[in-house]
Structure 1
Amino acid sequence: MWATFITLSAVLAKPLMALVSYVSTNNSFPKPLTPEEENHQLALYEQGDEEAKNILVERNLRLVAHIVKKYHNTGREVDDLISIGTIGLIKAITTFDRHKGTRLATYAARCIENAIPPLWKHNTSYIGGICFFSEFAPNITTSAF
């Protein structure tokens, strides 16, 4: 019984520890940009500087990890969630308008949230591209294709 408990604890603790290591260690992600640095990098990116875009992505990865940590108990791999959140961050950077007076992080947070598929936000079964969501829609019947 104790062996089962220890094994189960190790299996459940692994994803949580991976997420904590992403967020808690100072060396995991670069520090966020100051508002002045962010505005400068956005101006460079508007002029076509791809390196500025890369800097904006790198310096906002901490935001992605912060948003993703609320989905750690959905059964998804943290790395997968970080990857999808990063896609949302890149979309935010490419569509952001700095002249509207809001911070990039405020705008990016919504884009990162929207990048995570809705069924991934809930604890559903996912096998090879097939989602089983019978608990959300019990009256739906399936047929062979």
Structure 2
Amino acid sequence: MSTSLLPVGNLSPGQDLNGYIRTVNGISMLTDDEERELGFRLFNEGDLEAARRLVMSHLRFVVYVARSYNGYGLAQADLIQEGNIGLMKAVRRFDPNQGVRLVSFAVHWIKSEIHEFVLRNWRIVKVATTKAQRKLFFNLRGAKKRLSWMNSDEVDAIAKDLDVKPEVVREMESRLAAHDAGFDGAPDDDEESSYRAPAYFLDDASQDPALMVEESDWEEDSSTRLQRALSELDERSRDILQCRWLSDNKSTLHELAEMYGVSAERIRQIEKNAMNKVRASIGELEAA
């Protein structure tokens, strides 16, 4: 059964919530006999028109149920949409042979879809994952008598009523009191408040004094060993390495060949031999 079974013109809760509510409240309710007849037509014959009428006549009930979830800070239109999905699932599974009214059967499916939606969207981090936590989540919100923290007697009473341990109630109350916070802070935060964002509490390994001293010592030692190795080369080999690798404006083999009056291949050989000597010299200094 698809969502096309909700043809209230082009109206949906998200477009004009008040207009949608007025429209669904204007749809006539089914009598017991009408509902039973439509139920058998759907159950025995798969009659989609019967399914459509069953859904349409119960849309006002979805609105009624969705209104009881307004305290979660979610759009009522979204809650109604999710409840409508639950209603259609219930109609699809409705068996008139059981002798119960559709509204009694559908309420479970409607609330189930709304519950899932609330748990997915109420917090970025899920506050309830297990079946027991979900039950406690919804019951605890309804059981709290005030906005402040509950005292021990209230916690014990709720724990006894829901058949859970008091510490479980305390933990869920803490989760309910929490709020989402941006990791990097809000873009319009000023300098005095931006430091509160979690990102500012992370360690910056790149500014570790020990690592900075170690890196500085390593660079200084490497530079010293390189300069010492270069000093052991003859002047031409040292100049070729300087022009080829250590100068900002590096020279090509052909430019150096023209400078020294030899072939480019000869410059390449001198460069290779000089590099080998430098590597060997640095290796000996490291070993020492």
Pick the TM interval, shorter chain.
0.5 to 0.7
- The 1-side partners of 2:92 and 2:125 are apart by 31
CA RMSD of aligned residues (A): 2.7
**Which residue number corresponds to residue 32 of structure 1?**
29
Q: CA deviation at 1:45?
A: 1.1
Structure 1 residue 77 corresponds to structure 2 residue 75: yes
Provide closer, same or farther for how the CA distance between residues 52 and 71 of structure 1 changes in structure 2, counting only shifts above 3 A: same
Deviations 1:13-60, CA, capped at 9 Å, x for gaps:
xxxxx877765x4x4431221111111111111212111111111110
Q: CA deviation at 1:94?
A: 0.8
**Which residue number corresponds to residue 42 of structure 2?**
45
**Which residue number corresponds to residue 94 of structure 2?**
96
**Which residue number corresponds to residue 135 of structure 1?**
175
What residue identity is the alignment partner of 2:100?
T
Unaligned runs of 5+ in 2: 1-15, 128-173, 179-288
Q: CA deviation at 1:97?
A: 1.2
The answer to whether the 8 Å contact 2:119/2:126 transfers is no
- Larger helix share, 1 or 2: 2
Q: Select the structure with the greater relative contact order (CA < 8 A; seq sep ≥ 6).
A: 1
Provide the secondary structure at the position in 2 that maps to 1:83.
helix
Provide closer, same or farther for how the CA distance between residues 135 and 28 of structure 1 changes in structure 2, counting only shifts above 3 A: same
Compute the TM-score of the two structures, normalised by the length of structure 2: 0.35
Unaligned runs of 5+ in 1: 1-17, 139-145
Compute the TM-score of the two structures, normalised by the length of structure 1: 0.67
- The 2-side partners of 1:131 and 1:116 are apart by 18
The answer to whether the 8 Å contact 2:24/2:56 transfers is no
The answer to whether the 8 Å contact 1:75/1:123 transfers is no
Provide the secondary structure at the position in 1 that maps to 2:56.
helix
The answer to whether the 8 Å contact 1:42/1:52 transfers is yes
- Larger strand share, 1 or 2: 1
What residue identity is the alignment partner of 1:69?
R
Q: CA deviation at 1:124?
A: 3.3
- The 1-side partners of 2:70 and 2:85 are apart by 18
What residue identity is the alignment partner of 1:107?
F
Alignment of 1:58-69 (within 5 A): 58-69=56-67
**Which residue number corresponds to residue 109 of structure 2?**
111
- The 2-side partners of 1:49 and 1:69 are apart by 31
The answer to whether the 8 Å contact 1:74/1:123 transfers is no
The answer to whether the 8 Å contact 1:74/1:122 transfers is no
What residue identity is the alignment partner of 1:64?
V
- The 2-side partners of 1:52 and 1:88 are apart by 17
